[in-house]
Structure 1
Amino acid sequence: MNVLKYLNVKPEPTDTGTDIRAGLLSRAEEARSRGNFVASALLFEHIAEMESNPASALHQSARMYIEATDFTRAEQLLLRVAQAEPHNAEAYLDLAQLSFHQSRLDEAEFFYERALALRPEWHEAKAGLLRVGETRTEQLRRERLARKETALSFAQYEEKENLLGSRDKRVDPSLFKKGWNELHHDHGPAFVFTHSGNNAKTEWGNGATLRGIEALRGYLVSDVPMASLRIYMDGDVIHDAPLIEAPQRFERSNPNIRKWAYNAWIDFTNLPRGWHEFIFCAFGADGEAHEGRTWRREHMIVADPLPAEFATESDTVVPPFEPGTSGSLVERINARPSIVHKASPHSFPGKIDTVAVLRSDQLGDTAVSAAAFLHLRQILPDARLVGLMSSASAELSRSYGVFDEIIELDFPEDQAQRQRVMDFDAQEALIDRLKPYNFDVAIDFVVNGTSKRLVAMTGAPVTMGFGNDDSKTFAMDIVTNDPLSNNDITHHSVRMMMLVKSLELWMKSDTRIVRREDIGREELAAFGIAPNERYVLIHSGSRITFTRWQHYVALAKQVIAELGVKVVFMADDDSVRDQFAEEEGAGRLIYLARKLPFDQFDALISFASVFVGNDSGPKHLAALRGAPVVSLHSSRISWIEWGQEQTGVVISRQVPCAGCGLHHDPEECAQDVACMKYIRLAEVFREVRALFEAGAPNDQVVAAISPA
């Protein structure tokens, strides 16, 4: 490799060797200060090529490769240094630490001992040798424990079989706790897409579809350090950014294996519609390109953004920016204010003015759907219901008096093909005929059959029906089985009514406030809270730790200072307690970092004037009891699904990667958990103040918001 060309270093012909070396050294140190360790390492290597004694420059290069986690190349260079300078104790120490980092304990021990032989009193080498011994002991302990756990589970399994002669076949070995060897395996190089559009049926075909501002997410698995990812659309670069290093958990044998994650926020709003070729290309230290390992090709559809009035409450739908807005797309999204959602039992994502109802099969099918059709009219008294019916059921459908209009489908059953058929011209004519209706919802009542192929032709942004092989918005699978014949054991009409009831609950759930009559405010006396004293409860914990909001301490102090009210601060441990020494000493804050009896815990939550917390179990309990709740919701899952329905507000952020579902591998976020990081203290305090100053005692609040 021509390092000078790679790093865009162009020495003048008149430059002396000393000038070139000085220039390279300056660039190497500059690259190191910027964190560009691969470039720095390459420059130090080139300096070494220019010197008669290259050991010092090679040593610097090796340390840069260690910073870049290219341990293989670092080790090669350190061994060259040790060979050139056998008395270089620091080279042996670096080799020891490198070997230890890769769990090669025998080699680490050898190199630490070599370093100590050269510098007998070197504390760092002594400490390293001690760590090797401790680690070896811990590894042996874990291996014995893992073998014991695995053997114990299977021994119990076998013992029961031996004792009883035949084991109960319902006992499932997959539920046994697994040992280390079962959990860990070898990972090879890979390029993994975790989100590249949503599958949709469009006018260009069925495939991964991108609308408006979207996130393309994924990661590479590699034992070679990766630096950046570039995404091309039809040959044009649409994204170029660093990759984020993440651990590859449960790797068995290769300590160099890492994940390199990306989360590319891209605005497709004004890009051409239709199919496009995308190439995802990662750049690493070795400069090699392998399809499926460092680059991937994908074909995706760019389609129109969703209608402006649809899914306005979704955190995934990022509104477009005005032309000329300054800053990168990421900066502009993160600069926007958080979204405050009023708690509500309503979760349907838009308006329902016009509904397409599909029942394209036989007379009997339509007859058993009558109760469902009548209930649909009952829950949508003002909507325009348009029935798309077969000729066999059109007249019966009209007789119900439910539909504003019936469209008879030319959709006959072909005996030879054993399904309903519709030719190209008829399908295009149907699409053209349905377009002016601007349906909000399409509901297909056919459980099995080709009717579902017609749903997309309605153009409705919300589609409902049975089965999800055609990417419905709301899909149901209802399976009942007779234990002997395997036939269904529920009425067909039940399925039809369940579909309509689902829409009814989607429009407004049956959630409610449930208070306990057997506990009262006297439970609060144990915490020094007077019978009529108001307080704000802040629950700072969360089972999923990376979704915890980071400003609870500052919020508690601001509540005390500006609202003049006591704060109950619940935490997982005492790690931030010393920050409240003044407030706790003055009796303005109660710090709780212990597990409480459930009745006390329930009472503290139930009678809080305001509850503040992450999306967690205590948040849901507070809403269930009727306490006004400020919920800080990570967009990893939908606030519409998991936000409280009864009281208060949910604060979240609109980000293109909402719905990532990350749990055990938060490093794959690759956007620094922006959905929590940019919920600002001022935004949260504003909502806490508003709920607190609403001011009604809890029993009045409950009376005001309980369903009639």
Structure 2
Amino acid sequence: MPGPEAMRRMDRWLGVPVCALLSGMRRAARTWRRTRAQEQAVRRVLFVQLAESGSMVLADPAMRELTARSGAQAYCLTFAHNRDSLAIAGTVAPERVFVMRTGSLRVLVTDAWRFLRDVRRERIDALIDLELFSRLTAALCVLTGVRRRAGFHRFGGVGLYRGDLYTHPLAFNPQLHMAQNYLMLVEALFAEDVPPAPRVPAAMLVPSVCRRELGADELAVVRERMGRLRGGPIGDERLVLVNANASAMLPQRRWPQAHFVALVRATLARYADVRVLLIGAEDDRATTAAIADEVGDERCADIAGHFALGELPALFALGAALVSNDSGPAHFAAVTALPVIALFGPETPVLFRPLGNATVISAGLACSPCVNAGNQRRTRCTDNQCMRRIAVAEVFGALCRVLDARPLRLAPRDALAEVGA
């Protein structure tokens, strides 16, 4: 599977000439004929969002706005490993999702070719490229043959060159949350002026994700498996979920393992009715197992790899709080009422704050954020002080405020003394 840096290099060295070539061809075609994309009815719209699992949730308000506004069916193109992330919000029906696998370059190219064939069969009327200046996705959008296309364009501002490939190009606004930027792309798609400069409607200033309605069966499955993992049924204890992992695309987002250990110990010492569950995927177990071993308390359980992505909403519905690095689970929780404490460093919550019931904590260093739309979210930082300097006491204080909002049973020890300043 090509790594994140290999994908970025391919996007740069292959994407730039491809975008330039396609842009030239598009300009030449315009001199010979006028496009009538504006007059085309919008019945089927394709959203392109490949790499970021958390962004699937951030895009949900835009997808719902499109459906409410036009009645169009929403389709989506994503990488195969993100398909379950898209299903968390449940806005796009599974049969309307196109996927591309990333096992090898040959597989990726084969799936891209298959997608170009299949998307024409679906007779898509318009598309919205949600990617932040990915050149190859811009080229892919043109090759679909869809005549009405909205996507981010740098103009003279933020972003990378990717040619002139959209009929409705929109300037990316780094002062707006990503969910709002996505909503502006929907506005741009229906704009009469090109390039569009839509206003930000007041209702879009605070986007929200539609809450999932969880059935009794979904909750029962999670409860039953939880009971097997802990050796008995869940009683009146409160479940504090901890996500200590972050994707390989940006490992600098990780809060130090020792900080998580100190936080878990302090939480268990202060609250007698709390059990801490370390969550994650199967390949996260090296981290979660190490934290559980170091904590050394039977009330701290490593459950990484025991729940599928689609079961997370039910797990979150049973939780009392989630403490998470800036990664997918912090965003997935937005489909429930679960309070989230999200830790930010290399990225900014101005753009990527979770849309749910979230408290954001960052160290506020001058060098943060160091990744943005202009550098393809890459950084040379090897010492993530922006995460290391987030104090355990600050995170613990935020967690205590969540847990103290309901009756509890305090343990006799003063956990605040253990945490320190």
Say yes or no: TM over 0.5: no
Structure with bigger RCO (C-alpha 8 Å, 6+ apart): 2
Normalization by structure 2: what TM-score?
0.45
Larger-Rg structure? 1
Normalization by structure 1: what TM-score?
0.28
